Chains A and B, each alone.
Chain A
Amino acid sequence: MSKEYTHIQSAHCENGVTTGLLRHHDVDFMTEPLAFGIGSGLFYIHIPFLKINNGPAIAFRNMPGAIFKRTCDALRIKVKKIKFRNEETAKEYLDNKISEGVPVGCQVGVFHLTYFPKEYRFHFNAHNLIIYGKKGDDYMISDPVMETVTSLPTYDLQRARFAKGPLAPKGHLYFPEKIGTISNEQLRSAIIKGIRRNVRDMLYIPGNIAGVKGIRYTSKKIRKWRDELGTQKAGLYLGQIVRMQEEIGTGGGGFRFLYAAFLQQAAKHLGDNRLLSISEEMTKAGDLWRASAMKMASIYKNKNNSQQDFDAIADILLEIYETEKRAFQNLGKLKLS
């Protein structure tokens, strides 16, 4: 149990923690795209009326915590998840675990992560990292979005674990407790389950704000933003979309490239080349997201813009809606085994 944890860098923090912890426990086939796909990580939602950092509430992936839980469940890995009321108990629990040589996943608020550049330290409470040791007062941290390991003094880590506000981590720790041998058969069925659930999430959630329909919803909104908000505020809103979509932790194109990579790996594991052409479609969706981001940037950079610029963005989003809808419909039609 006491082998040294090997740092793994990933695009997305929760994938990275999942992959890192499972590989540490000798699940060697695990990769970031696999964790993302088995955990049905791809998503889209635009929650009306809610504001995050004074901008629109949009997400390109599923609820925090879902990827780790689903991936482990699908592979019949028993996990321990624990939250705390008391900060001191939370610290003792962590100290005990790492002294046993068990690396643990930990949910933290980015605002208190002193090793992050100031520019990135907003109040975002669903960042994940691995704590794998302690030297003196410093915890040894493997933050999956970073190239190398880092460390954090006890005081800062405590503040990050007990950050407050929406999605407050409450000291949340998690780690695999018992891992059996995972057969190829199990892996294949986990992949298929992940794909089916993702088809459901993208196509069949009722209402018009979640899944591919959410993209169409945003497209409609954007058309009105210039008149409703003025160019200044509309620019900020678009900037927020770009940051959710492209900022560190997404793998680019709002996680679409990551999902396309998953479909390629799934094609290999399932021996099913039909998944490759759907991967191509996801790549196209990712490329379109990047193209829309460039158009959005021209709005928040140049204050001289017209309604046509907003319409052009809304049109790309409609094209993305069509592309992703087609991709997931095709995915849903496949009889995978």
Chain B
Amino acid sequence: MKKEELPQDESALKNFTREVCYVKNDAGEYETDLSKGWNVKKDALDNAWDDVRNRVEAARNAVSTGEKSPVYYFMELQLMDLPILAGYTGFWKMTIRRHMDPNVFNKLSEPKLMKYAKAFGVSMEELRNPK
């Protein structure tokens, strides 16, 4: 990439930082330059966030129809997946999958619910009845 080809597109980096990129100067030598962003990446990031919003919305619906427990909704809301949630709660992935069943979830003990509440950063009340 040549120095003059370095994109300077506005992105989520705005008000945070510019990023270092390695570019070639006129003499053909590499040097660093700062970029504000690149639309190609911005679109990828926007697209990923659209997907997150869709997943959260679908999870919210699944909870309100009684198909899934709030564990599923909060996992999506917190951008987690099973391995990550397993890390934060100490439960096995298989166990978490079971807890996503509303019938199982409703019978969970306080200490188990506490682990989820802590992992999601919500109160017990919010965990039981997500908005």
Contacts and interface: CB of A to CB of B under 8 A. Distances in A.
Nearest to A283: B24
Contacts, number: 122
A147 B21 CA distance: 12
B48 A236 contact: yes
Contacts of B86: 165
A293 interface: yes
Interface in A224-261: 235-236, 238-240, 242-243, 246-249, 251-253, 257-258, 260-261
Contacts of B40: 242, 246, 293-294, 296-297
Given A11-B32, A164-B88, A235 B47 contact: yes
Contacts of A166: 83-84, 87
Given A165-B87, A166-B87, A242-B44, A261 B22 contact: yes
A119 B51 CA distance: 13
Given A147-B34, A165-B88, A257-B30, A11 B20 contact: yes
Contacts of A249: 19
Interface string B42-61: 01110111010001000000
Contacts of B22: 11, 33, 251-252, 257-258, 260-261
A297 B43 contact: yes
Interface in A202-243: 235-236, 238-240, 242-243
B59 to A, nearest CB: 13
Interface string B1-21: 100000000001101111111
A145 interface: yes
Contacts of B23: 252, 257
Contacts of B81: 51, 53-54
Given A120-B12, A301-B43, A145 B80 contact: no
B1 A290 contact: yes
A146 interface: yes
Given A116-B16, A117-B12, A242 B30 contact: no
Nearest to B85: A165
B41 A247 contact: yes
A301 B40 CA distance: 9
Contacts of A238: 44
A239 B13 contact: no
A246 B1 CA distance: 13
Contacts of B49: 119
Interface residues on chain B, size class: 35 or more
Contact of B48 (A147, A240, A293): A240
B29 interface: yes
Contact of A123 (B17, B32, B84): B84
Given A242-B40, A243-B41, A294-B40, A261 B51 contact: no
A122 interface: yes
B93 to A, nearest CB: 11
B30 A264 contact: yes
B122 interface: no
B51 A260 contact: no
Contact of A286 (B1, B29, B44, B84): B1
- Across the A-B interface, give the 8 residue pairs with the lowest CB-CB distance, nearest first: A164-B87, A165-B84, A261-B30, A165-B87, A239-B44, A119-B12, A257-B22, A297-B40
18 contacts: A10-B20, A115-B16, A119-B49, A123-B80, A123-B84, A164-B88, A165-B86, A165-B88, A166-B83, A168-B87, A243-B44, A251-B21, A252-B23, A253-B1, A260-B30, A286-B1, A293-B41, A296-B44
Given A240-B44, A257-B23, 7 more contacts: A246-B38, A252-B22, A257-B30, A287-B1, A297-B43, A300-B44, A301-B43
Interface of A: 9-11, 32-33, 51, 53-54, 111, 115-117, 119-120, 122-123, 145-148, 164-166, 168, 235-236, 238-240, 242-243, 246-249, 251-253, 257-258, 260-261, 264, 283, 286-287, 290, 293-294, 296-297, 300-301
